[in-house]
Amino acid sequence: MRIGELAARSDVSVRALRYYEEQGLLEANRSDSGQRHYPESAAARVQLIQMLYAAGLSSRTIAELLPCVDARVSTPESRARLAVERDRIDAQIAALTRTRDRLDAVIAFSGSPGSGCTYIADRDVAAQASHSVMP
The residues that touch a copy of itself, with contacts defined as CB under 8 A, are 23-24, 27, 39, 41-42, 44-45, 48, 51-52, 54-55, 60, 63-64, 67-76, 78-79, 82-83, 85-86, 89-90, 92-93, 95-100, 102-104, 106-107, 109-111, 115, 117-120, 123, 125-126, 129-134
Residue among 33, 112, 118, 130 that touches DNA (CB under 7 A): 33
Question: Shortest distance, CB of residue 74 to DNA, whole angstroms?
Answer: 25
Angle CA(12)–CA(81)–CA(65) in degrees, nearest 5? Answer: 30
Q: Give the three-state DSSP class for 43.
A: helix
H helices of 11-114, in order, are 14-22, 41-54, 59-71, 76-111
Considering CB distances under 5 to 8 angstroms, the limit depending on partner class, which of DNA, a copy of itself, none binds residue 124? none
User: What distances in angstroms separate CA 97 from CA 43, 53, 107, 123, one per listed residue?
Assistant: 31, 20, 15, 32
